[in-house]
Structure 1
Amino acid sequence: MPASSLEDIIAKLHLCKDAPHYMADKINAIADKALEEMTKEAGDFLHYDLDDEKHTVEEVKAIIDIFPGSLSVINLDPGFGDILPVYQAVYRSRAVSFIPLLAKEGSRLGVGSEGSRGGLLEDENNVVLNLTELDGIHLDGLYDTHDDDDEKCKQVLEKLRDLDLLKKEDIQNFDLLQHFLAEDGCAQRFEVLAALDPDSLITARCSINEGPLLHHYKLTENTFEMILKAGMEHFPENLGCLFRKFNGKTACQNAFDIIGTDEAMRVICRCIPPGENHPILHMA
């Protein structure tokens, strides 16, 4: 006798209301246990198997629609604590692009603690904060440093912004801009967040010396260009705060001291339009 299809089983379950109460209760209990197991399997899929080279957003949403509880399945990871699928996705290159979907559906379904936007902003597992700190993404247990990681994370931040799941006040509330200063390769993400709250380019402070961003003690040629470029875009009248002083030293002099005069001047010439004819350009 051939095995029943899923449709046949569902149809038979609908008929349980006509069965004796004892039998109906027993079947319902079995069905509840089966649903629990299927939800866990769907949750494990969201945790470990998301792959943007194999799965579409529509396919993943279908899983969530069938098993909404899958978004709340906890991975008891000893390294991270109790984490939701939306947080797990941060650390897998092929899963990170699904974060907007997981957060959107999680927000709709009330996943995570109150005010966490679907688990996006859990206190110990802040997805947005971790997106700014990544200089490479884990893939299948290995440290994966794809060149397009910054591009992927930028697109995620843009989609979260468009869904109103990333807000202007988040930039300063979570000190997001200063988290970009430790690593190169994050200019696209920095640009998105700086554009969302340009004032944070002025108000943000480095964690070590409490100075403005351009006074970071580990400034590199790349991070100097990243910050100055954003500053020139939003505050051209102040030359991107290039001559703002902190502890008696301008940001320009700080860059000269840390990355070298020639290197700093190359960045300045790329960021300040030649038509400005500013005296600093004549040093090049």
Structure 2
Amino acid sequence: MTNNGKSRQATPVPTGALTGAGNSEATLVEQTRAVAEVQAAITVARACPRDLERARDEMRRACTTRALADRAFYSVPNRGQGASVHLARELARVWGNIDYGVRETRRDDVEGVSEVQAYAWDQETNARTIRSFIVPHARSTRRGRQRLTDLGDIYSNNQNQGARAVRECILAVLPTWFVQEAQDLCHQTLRGEVTSEGLPQAVEKAVQAFKPLGVTRAMLEERVGRPVAVWTPDDVARLRTDHTSLTRDGMPVAELFDTQTVDERMLTAPAGAGEASGGEVGFPPEEPDM
């Protein structure tokens, strides 16, 4: 660093004074780097503030596409329903100046748990949400809890649990009106797709699309809560969301449907791992997320 054209020497400081008790120089360097990154992010966000009209227009364009609307919602028995992590990430992208993610802060292979942290931070308003939680190295199956030992399975399980938490973090820092309008538009897009092709045809395509997954008409009726003959456009739209969860997001069939009538091989394997899903009957097959 120079001052009036002359080199300026830094005054030597004892290592112990820099690090403090129990801290290493590497830890201090990492902390300093993290602080610098935060300061830089705030500076850039304030220098390039978001354009609310542009963000709203881009959100509207995105939510009127079938690609986003099909993945915009989730619905799992005993776990609730609402906006999916896919919709939350897209809204964060168009809103701008938001940092979010999932960190694995600790892993204990002896106890079989990981500590995971999800966060979302609006760098422009400095609104920030952090959630830390413990994830067991296990998955629930029909036979009970199955312990995970493969490193890839543990990583995937941690990321899946973290995705649910980061969704809530993102939605917590976004304006309520922005999220609500996006959900309304996605619902309209799904209902419009059903109405445009005719309700009877849409219902039959929905039934046929689930067949390769081992899901029968009776199981669909139980899921919807009414006979096929009286299904509404909203019912078919929700089934489209279920189909995407099974074929693209890797959710087991047993998460959504009565396991007593599901083929045993469907209970632990992702629904999309077997036969190709029924793209020819209205639900195009898609590649799974990484």
TM-score normalised per structure 2: 0.29
Please state which structure has a larger fraction of its residues in strand.
Answer: 2
TM-score normalised per structure 1: 0.30
Greater RCO (Cα-Cα under 8 Å, separation 6 or more): 2
